[in-house]
Structure 1
């Protein structure tokens, strides 16, 4: 998604993988069956809320029958579309979200609520089980974040950094096996990179992914109280 401070639109947009998704990792059938029964992300719906300077923040898993209109509108904002590449009708957004909802639980799409109002779109994913893991030394249970801030009025005023810190804290509070939260914004998305840096992430490396050069951003549990 975006940000320079907190504001930019799309804080850590996912890589367009040209058909390459998590299933392309060639996981053995037996392991896929186990994954399908596992709670790979420790149920984000139960994580509760975080108190931030901007208000009470929480993640609510997307329900297509209820929530589709908002992310569809946001994806068609040019500032968001430049990094998410999901412009088009509600069917385009629905296909992107449904692939996660009907998958094995390695990625969960959520709306970010601030004081109960949906204002951002998130994807919480298992980075160690994602194609991203081919490009960096992943650790078990590394958890990734993608984020876009929906409304232009919420961008450019530091909100992205506030929300990223809150979301990373929710991950670390509720996923005890996770030692790192990671993200991979486009290096050209300076607003996004800046927001991650301001929220306690560090720039670990630059990665050549299939469709972009990405900044690998990492927030370590061990350094959580220091950054």
Structure 2
């Protein structure tokens, strides 16, 4: 029986597009992110002609929309350096993910975890370093000079808001990279029976010191539950690991996801993994 967490077994595990692939070496890598066949597309021709929220469309047309109530400043996070706190809403973007920057922290067995949207001027050097780790580069294919990863991140930040790149902070220290995206508005929706507000997740655990500690399943569960808590309209969190990657699928199962179907994606067969709001307290 394979280990139930990508970081738990003797073989290193990596992933693309929400999946993991065994590689040679002695360090386990917990990564769940996009590759060449990624579900997260940035090409204008590779998007779905789906209806966007009326408020979002009104904003694009320059029409007045109902403003959100002003919120009090978030309290300081224990142990979190002020430089890693997100200063405010993501300017100029549609609110398709219920303001990831305001989701707040969640408690885990390893400490307090928080998603912080990437700020390129502050965070790209760290993301670039992670992407140039050989164990990561083979799967995300974003190694190289800073502009390679920079273009990938900025395409999301300057897009319509259907995907938000984030750092994952554990007790205030950045240790993972995430992409939270609207699976129902992504090219992935062409390959499975998408439902409105389905939310997808990609994960990369960055530092070698954080790999092999059993963090993969714990963080996947934490972020899936944080998504459901913060997005009332979202009934499902979606992932799509490679069907051949048993350790990655086991990690999702341990995190409370269920196997829904086998789906064909460009370049691979995938296991559609789903964490249901209705089953979250049972799995």
Identify the range of structure 1 (61-70 vs 34-43) with the bigger mean alpha-carbon deviation: 34-43
CA RMSD of aligned residues (A): 2.4
Does 2:49 match 1:27?
A: yes
Matches within 5 A, 1:77-92: 77-92=133-148
Of the two structures, which has the highest relative contact order with CA contacts closer than 8 Å and spacing of 6 or more?
Answer: 1
Which of 20, 25, 33 is 1:13 aligned to? 33
Counterpart CA distance in 2 for 1:15 and 1:209 is 11
Cα offset for 1:214? 1.9
Matches within 5 A, 1:41-190: 41-190=97-246
Counterpart CA distance in 2 for 1:165 and 1:28 is 29
Cα offset for 1:30? 8.8
How many residues align structurally? 225
Cα offset for 1:202? 1.1
Larger Rg: 2
Residue 212 of structure 1 corresponds to 268
Cα offset for 1:93? 0.5
**Corresponding residue SS for 1:68:** helix
Cα offset for 1:10? 4.3
Counterpart CA distance in 2 for 1:87 and 1:189 is 23
- TM-score (normalizing by structure 1): 0.90
In structure 1, the gaps of 5 or more residues are none
Tell me which stretches of 4 or more aligned residues in structure 1 moved more than 4 Å.
Answer: 17-20, 28-32, 34-37
Cα offset for 1:91? 0.9
Counterpart CA distance in 1 for 2:48 and 2:59 is 13
Counterpart CA distance in 1 for 2:250 and 2:268 is 18
- 8 Å CA contact retained: 1:6, 1:157: no
In structure 2, the gaps of 5 or more residues are 8-12, 14-28, 61-92
Q: Report which of the two has the higher share of helix.
A: 1
